[in-house]
Structure 1
């Protein structure tokens, strides 16, 4: 099987604010995609430590062989070369025309214009590289520029976005807009009415305009219940949501270090600027990392962000984990939560982390209701519910320190309960940061051709004698329960200690499929 062709990659940056902010942005040749970092939060005291991350731009050059092409400017290079290599990175410099440093009459920034110019760049790069599509990588507002292209500009032209865009990866994009944690909506209405520095683009009225094609736009603005996060799959030229990955930041405090009182206004369940619930597209892939919106602890200039990006773009296997068949104790006074962590062998960071301390645990009863409403597998009364825990992407050709012939990752699962009395939390029998169930599932996906049926081994840490690093799969792969070729499905029973909480039938369902 030949290696799939590398597709060109286009980076789209976030909101710059007023003219002075725009002027500062345009002095950077790569609009921030070249920014690395040396700070990382580590340890229980949350003190910073030194960790050198070179930047996503340099890492894509070193790890994946991408080229950075310029001849005074990328535009000049494209104009002066008949062909360009497909493994190339391009920066969508949409803010240049709005900078006063180039002209005394800068153009007003409009998100639709930025999206139209992005299409011009995509078509040029595709034509000169011979690549069928490009990947889009975006930070913050840049993801909305990409969605404007995908959901409005291309459909209005009668073009299928899936024909020219391969995958879309967003860092901290306000897919649901930017909302505030207090003020009962007054601050949002004031922002949208005044439009300070163009910030009304993060309000529902303006988002409806640039995320809805003309042939579907109503005369009275967004209809009741309209959700800007949605990328509808039931309309003409719909872009597949499985090609979208949203990286969600959960650390508001470090954004405040550089941006004052932002987190106090937006709220603690955020990355300091974008609330957690607004940072993803429902139905798309997503990961939660304890990083802020930007700054020295930001999403883009982080190892966590890069590793999720790299595996989503270039991995060859997708592994999904879900909690199925469970039954929570019938206690109306108890709220049940799941915490999930995902670590990949050889990585010095956690790839995905949903915890109560970071304001983003999985609310199990809510998850059950949501899954049941969507009619997902396993939601019948006789079988219990299905709660997706995490999906990740692995690469058989990525370096694996301590390689044992498999791609290994660990799924850390904790189940916690909170008692309530008269609508208030009750702490009479509470043990802080102590879970009712706590164990780690160690999963080995064995290498092979991406099109072949995978083999998989999984064991709970509580059943591994000694250290995990010394654990070797015994060679007996788990049984594939799915007859469909190329798709592996299996169930892993939970340890017996979980039965009083989740029921005797609770298990982890693992699904492995080819990914490219």
Structure 2
């Protein structure tokens, strides 16, 4: 197989009723072929949309990376009755190529077009995914040009919404699939998946709400089909967004998170109303990611994630977006991985509050990363879009809360094939960091609390640049420079051996020495990605 170009299996999201399942069954790509010509530049819905042509992920994977679908003469090659056409010389080419796009059409049998119109269970969909991966493996291995044995077969799973839960049920629950097939999954990418369930009006959807399978997003029900009910991973925290050890590594998992609820029009806008601020219109931001857990049930490793000002679906949806596509292809095919953390060393209060006790404030951490020369962001976290990372004043000053001062922000993948300027060989992106607090409050027992206006404690953009070596095997050159500083804040030589076999940590310091102020470091954990 031509690593890292393995078969991609798409798993679509939730269809509420028979009509939606019919619509899904009538589409050859179950919606993944939809494009977009508009995007929102700001959270203000009254601002006219800007024009930006995105041709759909399926089309772009074909034009950019040589992928093709598995339909031939109106037939699905995955059908057991399909036979390869006979060429003029009488020969047949069995199987399929490694660069194939496969759509898991699990709603066909639940439609009124091809089935009985009744939806099935998540468990059954997970077993069907296992069978589908086995069929794809057999077809890829059947083609001599691929030169791959079944034990060496690899594939990618890309899922939207509930499709991500189908994927996790297959990967995590040993009763829902074949173990060798689980091991063949190389990476998982999810768009807007409710990994920790769906909350409406602040409450998790109840288990008894079985109409239209809405209880698929109840955490107790999820713990059952994810295979974690009764395990420390679930019983300790009641969270279902954790990947237990020995199931699937969080380092191979990517979560694309939408932050625009305003453009989600499902149920005449009731969904976005009930899900509230800090959501994509259906899934709350805090529920859309996963973490790797240890045997005790502690969250210890975040899956890679990125944020986009996109809604759960629709014209401004996260699947048919440039942001989603660029993160997908860099995650699947990229060369360098950069996990971005923020370590806060200390904060300084306004002068009137220095030395005072019982101070309350909420620090909002905004973060944006954009490739050089592009108009879109690989990740975008802003307070106005309800997506900043937040910490309280107590968390940043109490010695007992020291672990809360290291904050995971996002992961960026860089790709040599995505360079804009071919005359400039470096991989580069702009990293914007803003830290602000709306106000400070001094709590008084017998007198009215005192309030002090807040502001930005830090605002700057750093250019991160990695220059690949001119001679294979030599070191990469890394620099990070804040625009407000005349010289580079960090430099490092990243050897090929370090990048391939481990992780290199680079610290980019930042400081605002004024009052109020902040001091800390952006911690970039750089590692090689994919073979070679």
Distance 1:40 1:206 in 2: 36
Report the CA distance shift for 1:256/1:419 in structure 2 as closer, same or farther (over 3 A): farther
Q: Secondary structure at the match of 1:122?
A: helix
Q: Secondary structure at the match of 1:96?
A: coil
Q: 1:127 aligns with which of 117, 130, 138?
A: 138
Distance 1:495 1:451 in 2: 36
Q: 1:361 aligns with which of 365, 381, 388?
A: 388
Distance 1:414 1:452 in 2: 35
| TM-score where L is the length of structure 2 | 0.82
In the other structure, the counterpart of 2:258 is: 249
In the other structure, the counterpart of 1:59 is: 60
Distance 2:473 2:197 in 1: 39
Deviation at 1:291, TM superposition (A): 0.3
Distance 2:407 2:229 in 1: 35
Q: Is 1:457 the counterpart of 2:484 in the alignment?
A: no
Distance 1:334 1:83 in 2: 61
Q: Deviations over 1:197-216 (max 9, x none)?
A: 1111111232122100xxx6
Deviation at 1:493, TM superposition (A): 2.6
In the other structure, the counterpart of 2:453 is: 429
Distance 1:225 1:405 in 2: 47
Q: Deviations over 1:406-432 (max 9, x none)?
A: 1110110011023124499976534xx
Distance 1:66 1:386 in 2: 40
5+ residue gaps, structure 1, are: 466-472
- Of the structure 1 ranges 476-485 and 343-352, higher mean CA displacement relative to structure 2 is found in 476-485
Q: Secondary structure at the match of 2:37?
A: strand
Trace 1:213-232 onto structure 2 (pairs within 5 A).
217-218=229-230, 223=235, 225-232=237-244
Report the CA distance shift for 1:265/1:111 in structure 2 as closer, same or farther (over 3 A): same
In the other structure, the counterpart of 2:194 is: 174
Distance 2:101 2:465 in 1: 33
- Check conservation: 2:473, 2:495, Cα contact below 8 A: no
Deviation at 1:350, TM superposition (A): 1.4
Instruction: Note the aligned Cα RMSD (angstroms).
Output: 3.4
Report the CA distance shift for 1:201/1:51 in structure 2 as closer, same or farther (over 3 A): same
- Check conservation: 1:292, 1:299, Cα contact below 8 A: yes
In the other structure, the counterpart of 1:199 is: 214
Q: 1:284 aligns with which of 295, 303, 312?
A: 303
Deviation at 1:148, TM superposition (A): 0.7
Q: Deviations over 1:330-357 (max 9, x none)?
A: 7722222211111111322111111111
Q: Secondary structure at the match of 1:61?
A: helix
In the other structure, the counterpart of 2:6 is: 7
Q: Deviations over 1:149-183 (max 9, x none)?
A: 0011x46667156521010000000111111125x
Distance 1:27 1:425 in 2: 61
Q: Is 1:80 the counterpart of 2:83 in the alignment?
A: yes
Distance 2:494 2:373 in 1: 30
In the other structure, the counterpart of 2:39 is: 40
Report the CA distance shift for 1:115/1:56 in structure 2 as closer, same or farther (over 3 A): same
Distance 1:9 1:401 in 2: 29
Q: Secondary structure at the match of 1:304?
A: helix
In the other structure, the counterpart of 1:410 is: 430
Report the CA distance shift for 1:255/1:413 in structure 2 as closer, same or farther (over 3 A): same
Deviation at 1:457, TM superposition (A): 1.3
- Check conservation: 1:480, 1:490, Cα contact below 8 A: no
Deviation at 1:27, TM superposition (A): 0.6
- Of the structure 1 ranges 155-164 and 454-463, higher mean CA displacement relative to structure 2 is found in 155-164
Q: Deviations over 1:120-156 (max 9, x none)?
A: 111111222136211000000000010010011x466
Q: Is 1:485 the counterpart of 2:498 in the alignment?
A: yes
Distance 1:139 1:354 in 2: 21
Trace 1:135-174 onto structure 2 (pairs within 5 A).
135-152=156-173, 154=174, 159=179, 163-174=183-194
Deviation at 1:385, TM superposition (A): 4.0
Q: Secondary structure at the match of 1:97?
A: coil
Task: Return the structure number with greater strand share.
Answer: 2
Q: Deviations over 1:445-490 (max 9, x none)?
A: 112489754211111111369xxxxxxx9xx982349997334332
Q: Secondary structure at the match of 1:109?
A: coil
Distance 2:34 2:336 in 1: 29
Q: 1:273 aligns with which of 279, 282, 301?
A: 282
Distance 2:308 2:472 in 1: 28
In the other structure, the counterpart of 1:469 is: none
Deviation at 1:5, TM superposition (A): 4.0
Equivalenced residues, count: 480
Q: Secondary structure at the match of 1:336?
A: strand
Distance 1:317 1:426 in 2: 48
- Check conservation: 2:126, 2:177, Cα contact below 8 A: no
Report the CA distance shift for 1:483/1:51 in structure 2 as closer, same or farther (over 3 A): closer
Distance 1:116 1:421 in 2: 56
Q: Deviations over 1:274-326 (max 9, x none)?
A: 11111111221111111000010000000111111111111010012322352
Trace 1:231-246 onto structure 2 (pairs within 5 A).
231-233=243-245, 237-246=246-255
Deviation at 1:367, TM superposition (A): 11
Q: Deviations over 1:227-254 (max 9, x none)?
A: 1111112xxx411011100011111010
